[in-house]
Amino acid sequence: MITNATTQDLEVGDVALMGVPLDLHSSFLQGPAFALNRIREALQSGAANLTAEDGTDLGATDRVKDTGDLDVFEQRGPEPIAAIEVGAGARIDKGARLLSLGGDHSVAYPLIKAHADRYQGLNVLHIDAHPDLYDQQDIGPLGHGCPFARVMETGKIKRLMQVGIRTMNAHQREQADRFGVEVVDMRNWRSDLTPSFDGPVYLSLDLDGLDPAFAPGVSHHEPGGLSTREVIDLIARFQGQVIGADIVELNPHRDPYGMTAMVAAKFVKEIGARLLR
Protein backbone atom coordinates (compact mmCIF):
# COMPACT_ATOMS: atom_id res chain seq x y z
CA MET A 1 0.00 0.00 0.00
CA ILE A 2 1.26 3.49 -0.84
CA THR A 3 1.50 5.52 2.34
CA ASN A 4 0.28 9.07 2.84
CA ALA A 5 2.91 11.59 3.85
CA THR A 6 3.63 15.28 4.12
CA THR A 7 6.34 17.07 2.21
CA GLN A 8 8.41 17.13 5.39
CA ASP A 9 8.33 13.30 5.52
CA LEU A 10 10.13 12.99 2.19
CA GLU A 11 13.69 11.71 2.00
CA VAL A 12 16.27 11.65 -0.76
CA GLY A 13 15.35 9.07 -3.38
CA ASP A 14 11.65 8.88 -2.50
CA VAL A 15 8.99 9.00 -5.18
CA ALA A 16 6.45 11.66 -4.22
CA LEU A 17 2.96 11.50 -5.69
CA MET A 18 1.30 14.91 -5.86
CA GLY A 19 -2.17 15.82 -7.09
CA VAL A 20 -2.69 19.01 -9.08
CA PRO A 21 -6.47 19.66 -9.23
CA LEU A 22 -6.55 22.35 -11.90
CA ASP A 23 -8.61 22.52 -15.08
CA LEU A 24 -9.26 26.26 -15.37
CA HIS A 25 -7.05 26.35 -18.45
CA SER A 26 -8.98 23.75 -20.42
CA SER A 27 -10.19 25.08 -23.76
CA PHE A 28 -13.06 22.64 -24.35
CA LEU A 29 -14.31 20.78 -21.29
CA GLN A 30 -13.57 20.90 -17.58
CA GLY A 31 -13.31 17.77 -15.46
CA PRO A 32 -9.60 16.89 -15.17
CA ALA A 33 -9.46 18.61 -11.76
CA PHE A 34 -11.46 15.64 -10.44
CA ALA A 35 -9.12 12.98 -11.84
CA LEU A 36 -6.75 12.66 -8.92
CA ASN A 37 -8.84 10.55 -6.60
CA ARG A 38 -10.11 8.42 -9.50
CA ILE A 39 -6.48 7.49 -10.22
CA ARG A 40 -5.81 6.80 -6.54
CA GLU A 41 -8.91 4.59 -6.32
CA ALA A 42 -7.74 2.63 -9.35
CA LEU A 43 -4.27 2.22 -7.82
CA GLN A 44 -5.72 0.80 -4.61
CA SER A 45 -8.42 -1.25 -6.33
CA GLY A 46 -8.71 -4.90 -5.43
CA ALA A 47 -8.89 -5.61 -9.16
CA ALA A 48 -5.13 -5.13 -9.49
CA ASN A 49 -1.93 -4.79 -7.48
CA LEU A 50 0.88 -2.26 -7.25
CA THR A 51 3.52 -4.24 -9.14
CA ALA A 52 5.01 -2.83 -12.34
CA GLU A 53 5.86 -5.13 -15.21
CA ASP A 54 9.58 -5.17 -14.30
CA GLY A 55 8.65 -6.65 -10.91
CA THR A 56 8.92 -3.42 -8.89
CA ASP A 57 6.19 -3.45 -6.23
CA LEU A 58 5.29 0.12 -5.32
CA GLY A 59 3.39 -1.18 -2.31
CA ALA A 60 6.33 -3.11 -0.88
CA THR A 61 8.66 -0.14 -0.44
CA ASP A 62 8.49 2.82 1.91
CA ARG A 63 10.02 5.04 -0.78
CA VAL A 64 6.72 5.77 -2.57
CA LYS A 65 4.71 8.39 -0.70
CA ASP A 66 1.48 10.17 -1.58
CA THR A 67 1.89 13.79 -0.50
CA GLY A 68 -1.71 14.72 -1.27
CA ASP A 69 -3.16 17.44 -3.44
CA LEU A 70 -1.86 20.96 -3.84
CA ASP A 71 -4.04 23.87 -2.88
CA VAL A 72 -3.55 25.49 -6.26
CA PHE A 73 -5.06 28.74 -5.01
CA GLU A 74 -2.91 29.08 -1.89
CA GLN A 75 -1.16 32.11 -3.37
CA ARG A 76 -4.57 33.89 -3.26
CA GLY A 77 -3.75 35.54 -6.55
CA PRO A 78 -5.56 35.40 -9.87
CA GLU A 79 -3.24 32.77 -11.35
CA PRO A 80 -2.60 29.39 -9.66
CA ILE A 81 0.43 28.50 -11.79
CA ALA A 82 2.77 30.01 -9.17
CA ALA A 83 1.37 27.76 -6.44
CA ILE A 84 2.09 24.67 -8.55
CA GLU A 85 5.70 25.68 -9.11
CA VAL A 86 6.18 26.34 -5.38
CA GLY A 87 4.60 23.02 -4.37
CA ALA A 88 6.66 21.05 -6.86
CA GLY A 89 9.85 22.82 -5.84
CA ALA A 90 9.30 22.05 -2.17
CA ARG A 91 9.14 18.33 -2.90
CA ILE A 92 12.09 18.31 -5.30
CA ASP A 93 14.19 20.23 -2.78
CA LYS A 94 13.70 17.35 -0.32
CA GLY A 95 15.51 15.09 -2.80
CA ALA A 96 12.35 13.33 -3.97
CA ARG A 97 11.40 12.45 -7.51
CA LEU A 98 8.02 13.91 -8.27
CA LEU A 99 5.17 12.13 -10.05
CA SER A 100 2.30 14.60 -10.49
CA LEU A 101 -1.29 13.66 -11.29
CA GLY A 102 -3.30 16.33 -13.12
CA GLY A 103 -5.26 18.29 -13.95
CA ASP A 104 -5.18 19.63 -17.46
CA HIS A 105 -1.92 19.90 -19.34
CA SER A 106 -1.34 23.53 -18.39
CA VAL A 107 0.14 22.19 -15.15
CA ALA A 108 3.15 20.89 -17.10
CA TYR A 109 4.59 24.37 -17.46
CA PRO A 110 5.17 25.11 -13.75
CA LEU A 111 6.07 21.47 -13.05
CA ILE A 112 8.74 21.35 -15.75
CA LYS A 113 9.98 24.82 -14.85
CA ALA A 114 10.48 23.72 -11.23
CA HIS A 115 12.56 20.78 -12.45
CA ALA A 116 14.52 22.79 -15.02
CA ASP A 117 15.51 25.27 -12.32
CA ARG A 118 17.06 22.40 -10.36
CA TYR A 119 18.34 20.01 -13.06
CA GLN A 120 20.74 21.57 -15.52
CA GLY A 121 20.42 20.28 -19.07
CA LEU A 122 16.90 18.91 -18.59
CA ASN A 123 15.40 16.83 -21.40
CA VAL A 124 11.64 16.43 -21.84
CA LEU A 125 9.81 13.48 -23.39
CA HIS A 126 6.23 14.50 -24.16
CA ILE A 127 3.57 11.93 -25.15
CA ASP A 128 0.43 13.55 -26.56
CA ALA A 129 -1.96 13.84 -29.49
CA HIS A 130 -1.30 17.59 -29.47
CA PRO A 131 2.01 19.48 -29.52
CA ASP A 132 0.69 22.12 -27.06
CA LEU A 133 2.94 24.74 -28.62
CA TYR A 134 0.41 27.52 -29.17
CA ASP A 135 1.71 30.97 -28.42
CA GLN A 136 -1.79 31.99 -27.33
CA GLN A 137 -5.26 30.49 -26.99
CA ASP A 138 -8.59 32.21 -26.50
CA ILE A 139 -8.19 31.43 -22.79
CA GLY A 140 -4.78 33.09 -22.74
CA PRO A 141 -1.07 32.20 -22.92
CA LEU A 142 -1.34 29.67 -20.08
CA GLY A 143 -3.98 27.50 -21.72
CA HIS A 144 -3.52 23.75 -21.85
CA GLY A 145 -2.52 24.07 -25.50
CA CYS A 146 0.40 26.37 -24.64
CA PRO A 147 2.61 24.78 -21.93
CA PHE A 148 5.45 23.64 -24.17
CA ALA A 149 5.77 27.07 -25.76
CA ARG A 150 6.11 28.51 -22.26
CA VAL A 151 8.57 25.79 -21.26
CA MET A 152 10.79 26.33 -24.28
CA GLU A 153 10.78 30.09 -23.75
CA THR A 154 12.62 29.57 -20.46
CA GLY A 155 15.72 28.59 -22.42
CA LYS A 156 16.44 25.88 -19.86
CA ILE A 157 15.34 22.80 -21.81
CA LYS A 158 18.14 20.93 -23.54
CA ARG A 159 15.89 18.82 -25.72
CA LEU A 160 12.14 18.35 -26.20
CA MET A 161 10.87 15.25 -28.01
CA GLN A 162 7.16 14.88 -28.70
CA VAL A 163 5.66 11.47 -29.52
CA GLY A 164 2.17 10.58 -30.74
CA ILE A 165 1.37 13.94 -32.33
CA ARG A 166 -1.45 13.94 -34.87
CA THR A 167 -2.90 17.50 -34.78
CA MET A 168 0.04 19.63 -35.92
CA ASN A 169 -1.27 22.77 -37.64
CA ALA A 170 0.81 25.42 -39.42
CA HIS A 171 1.25 27.68 -36.39
CA GLN A 172 2.43 24.86 -34.16
CA ARG A 173 4.77 23.57 -36.88
CA GLU A 174 6.32 27.05 -36.99
CA GLN A 175 6.64 26.97 -33.21
CA ALA A 176 8.25 23.52 -33.30
CA ASP A 177 10.77 24.73 -35.88
CA ARG A 178 11.42 27.90 -33.87
CA PHE A 179 12.18 26.00 -30.68
CA GLY A 180 13.96 23.05 -32.30
CA VAL A 181 11.40 20.50 -31.09
CA GLU A 182 11.80 16.89 -32.25
CA VAL A 183 8.36 15.68 -33.34
CA VAL A 184 7.55 12.00 -33.89
CA ASP A 185 4.03 12.16 -35.26
CA MET A 186 1.83 9.11 -35.63
CA ARG A 187 2.50 8.89 -39.36
CA ASN A 188 6.16 8.26 -38.54
CA TRP A 189 5.68 6.27 -35.33
CA ARG A 190 7.51 2.95 -35.09
CA SER A 191 6.83 0.50 -32.30
CA ASP A 192 10.58 -0.05 -31.87
CA LEU A 193 11.34 3.66 -31.36
CA THR A 194 13.94 3.93 -28.59
CA PRO A 195 14.72 7.55 -27.69
CA SER A 196 18.02 8.08 -25.91
CA PHE A 197 18.68 11.12 -23.75
CA ASP A 198 21.95 12.41 -22.35
CA GLY A 199 21.18 13.79 -18.90
CA PRO A 200 18.04 14.04 -16.75
CA VAL A 201 14.64 13.40 -18.33
CA TYR A 202 11.18 14.67 -17.40
CA LEU A 203 8.25 12.67 -18.81
CA SER A 204 4.96 14.45 -19.53
CA LEU A 205 2.16 12.06 -20.45
CA ASP A 206 -1.15 13.36 -21.75
CA LEU A 207 -3.64 10.50 -21.79
CA ASP A 208 -5.12 11.66 -25.09
CA GLY A 209 -1.85 10.57 -26.67
CA LEU A 210 -3.50 7.17 -26.63
CA ASP A 211 -6.14 6.28 -29.17
CA PRO A 212 -9.63 6.86 -27.70
CA ALA A 213 -10.25 3.11 -27.95
CA PHE A 214 -7.74 2.67 -25.11
CA ALA A 215 -8.37 5.89 -23.16
CA PRO A 216 -11.87 7.26 -23.77
CA GLY A 217 -11.91 9.30 -20.56
CA VAL A 218 -10.30 12.45 -21.96
CA SER A 219 -11.72 15.77 -23.09
CA HIS A 220 -10.26 15.63 -26.62
CA HIS A 221 -10.85 12.41 -28.55
CA GLU A 222 -8.26 12.23 -31.32
CA PRO A 223 -8.40 8.96 -33.32
CA GLY A 224 -5.32 7.24 -34.63
CA GLY A 225 -3.21 7.26 -31.49
CA LEU A 226 -0.96 5.01 -29.49
CA SER A 227 -2.08 1.82 -27.77
CA THR A 228 -1.67 1.25 -24.05
CA ARG A 229 0.91 -1.44 -24.84
CA GLU A 230 2.95 0.93 -27.00
CA VAL A 231 3.07 3.58 -24.28
CA ILE A 232 4.05 1.04 -21.60
CA ASP A 233 6.83 -0.26 -23.83
CA LEU A 234 8.05 3.27 -24.59
CA ILE A 235 8.15 4.13 -20.87
CA ALA A 236 10.21 1.02 -20.17
CA ARG A 237 12.49 1.32 -23.19
CA PHE A 238 13.60 4.93 -23.58
CA GLN A 239 17.09 5.63 -22.28
CA GLY A 240 17.92 8.31 -19.74
CA GLN A 241 17.58 9.07 -16.02
CA VAL A 242 13.95 9.89 -15.25
CA ILE A 243 13.79 12.54 -12.52
CA GLY A 244 10.14 13.62 -12.69
CA ALA A 245 6.88 13.06 -14.53
CA ASP A 246 3.25 14.03 -14.87
CA ILE A 247 0.12 12.21 -16.03
CA VAL A 248 -2.61 14.60 -17.14
CA GLU A 249 -5.96 15.17 -18.86
CA LEU A 250 -8.00 12.31 -17.40
CA ASN A 251 -11.60 13.55 -17.45
CA PRO A 252 -13.74 11.36 -15.17
CA HIS A 253 -16.93 12.79 -16.70
CA ARG A 254 -16.07 10.94 -19.92
CA ASP A 255 -14.59 7.77 -18.45
CA PRO A 256 -16.92 4.77 -18.78
CA TYR A 257 -16.47 2.22 -16.00
CA GLY A 258 -13.25 3.90 -14.87
CA MET A 259 -11.37 2.43 -17.84
CA THR A 260 -9.04 5.39 -18.35
CA ALA A 261 -8.40 5.75 -14.62
CA MET A 262 -7.09 2.17 -14.66
CA VAL A 263 -4.85 3.04 -17.63
CA ALA A 264 -3.54 6.05 -15.70
CA ALA A 265 -2.92 3.86 -12.64
CA LYS A 266 -0.99 1.41 -14.82
CA PHE A 267 1.22 4.27 -15.99
CA VAL A 268 1.75 5.40 -12.39
CA LYS A 269 3.20 1.96 -11.64
CA GLU A 270 5.40 1.84 -14.73
CA ILE A 271 6.69 5.40 -14.33
CA GLY A 272 7.06 4.92 -10.59
CA ALA A 273 9.30 1.92 -11.20
CA ARG A 274 11.56 4.04 -13.40
CA LEU A 275 11.68 6.85 -10.85
CA LEU A 276 12.83 4.38 -8.17
CA ARG A 277 15.92 3.36 -10.16
Please report, in range form, the residues annotated as the binding site for Mn(2+). Answer: 105, 128, 130, 132, 206, 208
Q: How many whole angstroms separate alpha carbon 227 and alpha carbon 234?
A: 11
- For the annotated binding site, the residues are 105, 128, 130, 132, 206, 208
Distance between CA atoms of 185 and 168, rounded to whole angstroms? Answer: 8
Are 99 and 17 within 8 A, CB to CB? yes
Alpha-carbon distances, residue 249 vs 28, 61, 94, 199, 252 (angstroms): 12, 28, 27, 27, 9
Q: What is the layout of strands, in order, in the sheet containing 182-185?
A: 3-4, 64-69, 15-20, 97-102, 239-248, 196-206, 122-127, 157-165, 182-185
